[in-house]
Copies of this chain bind each other. A is one copy, B any other.
Amino acid sequence: MPSRLHQKALESLGTRIVDGVLPAGHIMLAEDLESELGVSRSVVREAVRVLQSAGLVQSTKRVGIKVLPRPTWNPYDPLVIRWRLRSSGRGAQLRSLTEMRVAVEPMAAELAADHAPEWVGEQLHDIANKMRATGQDARRFQQLDVRFHAVVLAGSGNEMFAGLHDAVAEVLTGRQEMGLIPAHPHEEAIELHLDVAEAIALRRPAEARETMNEIMRATIDEIHQEWAGTPRSDAGF
């Protein structure tokens, strides 16, 4: 519902930058962008402001709008994540997100077991049971999976952990769209989810952490091939 033109301009510029079509150091002029995108100054300027807040560009007087190098991009900006998952940088983004999950989700489970209100454990139990009941429908299974991990992240009571939930969702849905998930969800994975739910409900932090850790290990095994060839970013210093 929000402004269509603004989003269109934003999307056009953002995807081209993330795809590398507009490389770091490339300089654009606001006036050219107007005619190129077929929109007015105000639209271009607002889009550029948003890109600037995401660290993708920097606009300076007398020179123009410069595309910044990747290390300055905000890797947590939802727009940047979406664009990268649909670009050639997909492998690197997927690996980054998965490593983040591996680091965070076990601790989130531990914290949830420590501090989360009771209904979190109940809800997790509920979701895990539905996952078991959902036999064939891979799509439904994956929706439940997304929800399960979102509840754990939110249940940790840590806002930054909770804030990862849409990124995690995009990873999981993206995985399925590429047919990377086995049609038959592992029986073992389901059991692990049930175990996590129970550990959180019964307030057993160490057990929750370790079980979630096993889920993460399985996740890595499933997705590992995806980024097999992608090089690690050589963080400039």
Residues of A within 8 A of B (CB): 1-2, 6, 42, 45-46, 49-50, 53-54, 58-60, 70-71, 74-79, 92-93, 95-97, 99-100, 102-104, 106-108, 111, 115, 117, 123, 151, 154-163, 232-235, 237
Contacts and interface: CB of A to CB of B under 8 A. Distances in A.
A177 B42 CA distance: 41
Contacts of A157: 232-235
As for how many copies of this chain the complex holds, the number is 2
Given A1-B60, A53-B53, A103-B107, A75 B159 contact: yes
A92 B59 contact: no
Contact of A50 (B50, B78, B106): B50
B103 A162 contact: no
A153 to B, nearest CB: 8
B75 A77 contact: no
A115 B76 contact: no
A169 to B, nearest CB: 14
A74 B77 CA distance: 8
B60 A158 contact: no
Contacts of A232: 115, 157-158
